[in-house]
């Protein structure tokens, strides 16, 4: 009997333990489902924030230099920077800021002063006192674009941090930040310097800004001093004015606010000076893209995204920059195939690819350039003009220069009579001269660029006057006429000799 009781007690204890084990397993699984470590972590963070708010009751707003995953520089950051530059100047008089950074000013004899890293400045707005701090932190290597665009050298992350009391939350977030942006834009307009940008990194004399480097744009050429047919010049100016004032029109028809210009003609006909005149007429910045330095289509897109509105984006001599000609398809494809086969036979294909990567050759394609002009990304921002120049328009792929991409084609031709008279007035200050007739007659027979006309009639010393300069021009035109006739004669003789040789071959 006692043995049975003992056995029964043992069984009961085993059952209880088994039940407890099952219940504990179910309870443990349930607790794991609740993710207790997240629960405790969340509440510990709340406790930490509560303790931090007791020690530091200020709220913080961060204005980062880049937004959109570092795709473009933040407008809010630029406006806050401009606002704080003015606040820094005002605080400097009272000794409020001790560490300053100097940057070029619109006035060449002055500098713009801004807060250096980790410096602070206080500001007051309707009774609320706030504090701004300039912050800099190392860029994380895993941020993709930042690391890639710097060639493996991460760029520092800059930002401004705004500190203010909890009781001023509505005032700061609702009105003060709007006030900062508006005032910052006004300061930017007041201090604006037109700039010439390039995508080629410069030395210490260049001021780096994102993927672009820039200098102050100071080209003196205007339409008033541009040698061009007056009617054609007025047509270009009217077209530029219509574009600048066409925001509502472009919005109404559903087009991106941009326009393409193709400038073509022989070297020395004034394509680059035309761009300078356009920039001065519109008061736009100029972005000069060296296309051979752009590695991929993605790089090209990045460059476009970081351009600003009110700008002219230029690719000069585009026929020389990349293989964008209409003849490229068959010949290049055939040559490439033959070359690949030869490389495979020699076992050098892999080595060649490594050499190309090391050399940093451009892999920008025609498709990438077309998307750059009028793809989806071209609508990021507005009021941009895209200008291509070429000496050989017939070599360009028709898809590249069709209307809608290059909307206006402007031929920069040889010097005509009207252009010559304009140049004589500008460079010699003469409206008429006895030699004008001889010059006009020769210009109708001889092709000479405006650059050559200017060079030949520019005074070479204080003793030269308008008459001697025009005489030099007439002499140069006569020589050019003789050279042209001689070249024509040699060409005819060459054709005659080829024809004779062909006849002899046929006779034999």
Q: Write out pLDDT tens, residues 151-204.
A: 444 467 889 999 999 889 999 999 999 999 999 999 888 888 889 999 875 443
Sign of CA dihedral 196, 201, 202, 207: positive
Euclidean distance between CA atoms 362 and 293, whole angstroms? 7
Residue with the bigger pLDDT between 434 and 24: it is 434
* 436 located within any domain: yes
- Please indicate, yes or no, whether residues 84 and 175 belong to a single structural domain of this protein: yes
Euclidean distance between CA atoms 279 and 430, whole angstroms? 28
Q: What is the mean pLDDT of residues 41-62?
A: 71
* 173 located within any domain: yes
Burial of 180 per CB tally in 10 Å (0-12, 13-18, 19+): buried
Q: Write out pLDDT tens, residues 465-506.
A: 889 999 999 999 999 999 888 888 888 777 777 776 665 555
- Please indicate, yes or no, whether residues 270 and 399 belong to a single structural domain of this protein: yes
What is the separation, in whole angstroms, between the first and last Cα of the chain?
139
Range of the domain at 137: 60-192
- Please indicate, yes or no, whether residues 439 and 303 belong to a single structural domain of this protein: no
Euclidean distance between CA atoms 226 and 274, whole angstroms? 7
- Please indicate, yes or no, whether residues 213 and 327 belong to a single structural domain of this protein: yes
What is the count of structural domains for the chain? 4
- Please indicate, yes or no, whether residues 106 and 232 belong to a single structural domain of this protein: no
Cβ partners under 8 Å of residue 229, min gap 6 = 416, 418, 419
* 386 located within any domain: yes
Sheet of 157-164, strand order: 59-64, 157-164, 128-137, 120-125
HSE value, Cβ hemisphere, 13 Å, CA-based, for 137: 11
- Please indicate, yes or no, whether residues 46 and 71 belong to a single structural domain of this protein: no
Query: Which of 48-52, 105-109, 287-291, 350-354 shows the highest mean pLDDT?
Result: 287-291
* 467 located within any domain: yes
Euclidean distance between CA atoms 508 and 504, whole angstroms? 6
pLDDT at 345 over 60: no
* 354 located within any domain: no
- Please indicate, yes or no, whether residues 225 and 183 belong to a single structural domain of this protein: no
- Which has the minimum average pLDDT: 134-143, 188-197, 394-403? 134-143
Contact by Cβ (8 Å): 353, 340: no
- Please indicate, yes or no, whether residues 273 and 390 belong to a single structural domain of this protein: yes
Q: What is the mean pLDDT of residues 125-141?
A: 84
- Please indicate, yes or no, whether residues 325 and 456 belong to a single structural domain of this protein: no
Q: Write out pLDDT tens, residues 58-70.
A: 889 999 988 655 5
- Please indicate, yes or no, whether residues 234 and 378 belong to a single structural domain of this protein: yes
Sign of CA dihedral 90, 94, 97, 101: positive
* 16 located within any domain: no
* 351 located within any domain: no
- Please indicate, yes or no, whether residues 44 and 92 belong to a single structural domain of this protein: no
* 298 located within any domain: yes
- Domain end position, chosen among 38, 56, 74: 56
Q: Write out pLDDT tens, residues 200-245.
A: 754 433 444 567 888 889 899 999 989 888 889 999 999 999 999 9
- Please indicate, yes or no, whether residues 176 and 308 belong to a single structural domain of this protein: no
């Amino acid at each position: 009997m006692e043995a049975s009781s003992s056995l029964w007690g043992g069984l009961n204890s085993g059952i209880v333990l088994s039940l407890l084990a099952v219940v504990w397993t179910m309870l443990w699984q349930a607790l794991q489902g609740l993710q207790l470590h997240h629960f405790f972590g969340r509440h510990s963070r709340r406790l930490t924030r509560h303790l931090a708010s007791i020690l530091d009751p200020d709220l913080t707003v961060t204005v980062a230099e880049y937004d959109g995953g570092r795709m473009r520089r933040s407008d809010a950051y630029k406006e806050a920077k401009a606002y704080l530059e003015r606040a820094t100047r005002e605080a400097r008089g009272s000794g409020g800021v001790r560490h300053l950074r100097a940057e070029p000013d619109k006035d060449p004899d002055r500098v713009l002063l801004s807060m250096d890293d980790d410096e602070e400045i206080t500001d007051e707005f309707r009774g609320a006192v706030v504090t701004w701090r300039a912050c800099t932190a190392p860029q994380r290597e895993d941020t993709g674009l930042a690391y890639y665009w710097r060639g493996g050298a991460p760029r520092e992350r800059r930002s401004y941090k705004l500190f203010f009391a909890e009781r001023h939350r509505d005032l700061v977030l609702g009105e003060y930040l709007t006030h900062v942006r508006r005032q910052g834009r006004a300061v930017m307009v007041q201090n604006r310097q037109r700039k010439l940008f390039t995508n080629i990194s410069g030395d210490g004399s260049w001021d780096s800004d994102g993927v672009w480097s820039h200098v102050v744009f100071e080209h003196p050429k205007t339409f008033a001093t541009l040698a061009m047919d007056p009617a054609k010049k007025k047509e270009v100016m009217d077209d530029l004015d219509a574009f600048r004032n066409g925001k509502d029109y472009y919005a109404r028809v559903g087009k991106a606010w941009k326009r393409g210009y193709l400038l073509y003609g022989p070297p020395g006909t004034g394509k680059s000076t035309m761009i300078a005149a356009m920039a001065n007429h519109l008061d736009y910045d100029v972005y000069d893209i060296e296309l051979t330095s752009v590695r991929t289509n993605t790089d090209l897109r990045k460059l476009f995204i970081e351009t600003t509105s009110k700008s002219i984006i230029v690719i000069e001599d585009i026929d020389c920059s990349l293989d964008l000609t209409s003849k490229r398809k068959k010949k290049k494809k055939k040559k490439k195939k033959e070359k690949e086969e030869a490389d495979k036979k020699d076992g050098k294909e892999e080595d060649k690819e490594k050499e190309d990567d090391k050399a940093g050759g451009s892999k920008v394609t025609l498709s990438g350039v077309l998307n750059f002009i009028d793809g989806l990304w071209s609508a990021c921002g507005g009021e941009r003009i895209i200008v291509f120049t070429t000496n050989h328009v017939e070599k360009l792929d028709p898809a590249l220069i069709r209307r809608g991409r290059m909307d206006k084609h402007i031929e920069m031709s040889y010097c005509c009579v009207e252009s010559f008279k304009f140049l004589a007035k500008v460079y010699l200050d003469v409206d008429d001269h006895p030699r004008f007739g001889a010059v006009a007659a020769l210009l109708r027979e001889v092709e000479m660029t405006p650059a050559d006309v200017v060079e030949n009639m520019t005074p070479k010393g204080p003793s030269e006057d308008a008459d001697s300069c025009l005489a030099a021009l007439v002499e140069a035109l006569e020589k050019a006429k003789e050279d042209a006739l001689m070249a024509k004669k040699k060409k005819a003789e060459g054709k005659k000799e080829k024809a004779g040789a062909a006849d002899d071959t046929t006779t034999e």
